[in-house]
């Protein structure tokens, strides 16, 4: 990935920091809180303060211009209520995708969630339902755009060390996956433009990440 400039929205998130560490100096983490700049820079990446809940599309377009790819890794996060699922998990993704289109940056990897694309199971709490609805709407918005998009839907995220072994396909059984491995898969997707136009679910498995993208199974 040498020499590539990759914009990562939600730059202080757990997956984003792992991704920035893998990408190094070409990565640009967008953070809302100036206090988070140092954590992003500690990975070797650049940090830009930009609040995607408040920024204008012109402002974000200027940040994205000249990049090779954009990764949407933002989320309202645990403890946030239903309204912020909409403004972050949907709204910020739509804003970033719009800015990427305007800036002519075609490659866009969106981190969604397993369960997106179908109605949440009855009985789940309203915040989970709002999260799935926001992710689904963000995916739908992205698919309608003239971008080389890939939607990645990881299963339940853990902080276990990565194994480098996953199961990645349009549909996989529910399961967990370390954030380390999610970051490694995103790098692999960025390295393989042939994965554009695909929605892929991701859990731990037995296929080495390196083989998976090479074979584009």
Report domain extents, the chain: 6-215
Q: At residue 197, does pLDDT exceed 50? A: yes
pLDDT digits (tens, 9 = 90+) for 22-77: 998 999 999 999 999 999 999 999 999 999 999 999 999 999 999 999 999 988 77
Global model pTM greater than 0.95? no
149-180: pLDDT as tens digits: 999 999 999 999 999 999 999 999 999 999 99
Asked if the model's pLDDT at residue 118 lies above 90, the reply is no
Q: How far apart are CA 178 and CA 2, in angstroms?
A: 25
Assigned CATH topology for domain 6-215: Rossmann fold (3.40.50)
Closest among 133, 85, 135 to 112, alpha carbons compared: 135
- Please say if the pLDDT value at position 217 is more than 70: no
Round to whole Å and give the CA distance between 136 and 153.
11
How many other CB atoms sit within 10 Å of the CB of residue 183?
A: 24
Contact 152, 112 (CB under 8 A): yes
Work out the average pLDDT over 80-84: 85
**Distance of alpha carbon 90 from alpha carbon 53, whole angstroms:** 10
Task: Name the residues annotated as catalytic.
Answer: 131
Question: Does 215 have pLDDT greater than 60?
Answer: no
């Amino acid at each position: 990935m040498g020499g590539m400039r990759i914009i990562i929205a939600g730059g202080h998130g757990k997956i984003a920091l792992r991704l920035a560490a893998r990408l190094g100096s070409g990565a640009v983490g967008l953070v809302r809180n100036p206090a988070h700049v140092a954590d992003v820079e500690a990975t070797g990446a650049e940090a830009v303060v930009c609040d995607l809940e408040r920024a204008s599309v012109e402002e974000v377009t200027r940040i994205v211009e000249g990049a090779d790819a954009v990764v949407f890794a933002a989320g309202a996060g645990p403890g946030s209520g239903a309204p912020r699922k909409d403004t972050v998990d949907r709204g910020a993704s739509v804003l970033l995708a719009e800015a990427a289109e305007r800036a002519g940056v075609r490659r866009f990897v969106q981190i969604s969630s397993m369960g997106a694309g179908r109605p949440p199971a009855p009985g789940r709490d309203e915040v989970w339902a709002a999260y799935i609805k926001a992710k689904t709407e963000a995916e739908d918005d992205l698919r309608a755009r003239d971008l080389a998009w890939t939607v990645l839907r990881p299963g339940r995220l853990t902080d276990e060390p990565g194994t480098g072994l996953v199961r990645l396909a349009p549909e996989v059984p529910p399961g967990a996956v370390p954030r380390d491995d999610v970051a490694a898969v995103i790098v692999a997707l960025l390295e393989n433009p042939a994965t554009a136009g695909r929605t892929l679910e991701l859990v731990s498995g037995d296929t080495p990440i390196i083989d998976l993208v090479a074979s584009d199974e």
